[in-house]
Structure 1
Amino acid sequence: MDNQYKRLHYQSCHRGTKELDILLGLFFKETGYLLQQSEIDVYEQFLQEDDDILYRWLTMTTPPLPQKYERLIQRIQEFHQS
């Protein structure tokens, strides 16, 4: 497991809210190793966004989504619906 993966896993599980810890932590734990490097780069940028904004994007309460995050947010939502 490389340092970037470890760092992103930690950042996914230690957000500002328990809800994001669960949404992002479980997603990255189960699917992070499947992401291509370009997707990991987008995910890393995504994690730099404000927690309140991330939660609203993931729960679809703040449209429109930034185009660069649309596919990632869709994957996270699909992961939690299955």
Structure 2
Amino acid sequence: MTGCTRSSAGLSERRRRLLFRAWRRGTRELDLLTGRFADAVIGDLTDAEVEEFEGWCAAPDLDLYAWINGSKPVPPDYDTPLFRRLKAFNHAASAE
């Protein structure tokens, strides 16, 4: 997979921006982790979850990558049900 597989058609401007940002984090590895998750869930997230996801975009790439892959503990502010969904989603994808 090399990029976004979900159309932004029908998404609000805010969700389109978030989908774009999820696929353009700065490192290809993180793009794949956050982008594929965004493709799968962006249309179903609550407004609060969209805000949380936007917050992830402000985190440094290396830290976010380490939290997702489990090489660093997730800080309490990020250890939320949605972040755990992101981790589980990527763990399941890597097991395929």
Quote the Cα distance in structure 2 between the aligned partners of 1:34 and 1:68: 22
In the TM superposition, residue 66 of structure 1 has moved relative to its aligned partner by 2.3
- Per the alignment, residue 31 of structure 1 pairs with 41
Higher helix share: 1
Give the TM-score of the pair, scaled to structure 2: 0.77
* CA–CA separation in structure 1 for the residues paired with 2:88 and 2:72: 18
Mapping for residues 15-30 of structure 1, pairs under 5 Å: 15-30=25-40
For 2:54 and 2:24, the matched residues in 1 are separated by 14
**TM-score with structure 1 setting the length:** 0.89
Matches of residues 25-64 of structure 1 in structure 2 within 5 Å?
A: 25-63=35-73
Q: Provide the rounded CA distance (Å) in 2 between the counterparts of 1:54 and 1:29.
A: 18
Match of 1:66 in 2: 75
Asked if the contact 1:42/1:68 (under 8 Å) is kept, the reply is no
- What is the alpha-carbon distance in structure 2 between the residues aligned to residue 61 and residue 46 of structure 1? 17
> Would the aligned equivalents of 1:12 and 1:47 in 2 still touch at CA under 8 Å?
yes
Identity %: 30
Does 1:76 pair with 2:86? yes
Which contiguous aligned blocks of 4+ residues in structure 1 show a shift greater than 3 angstroms? none
Q: Which has the larger radius of gyration?
A: 2
Q: Structure 1 residue 72: deviation in Å? A: 2.5
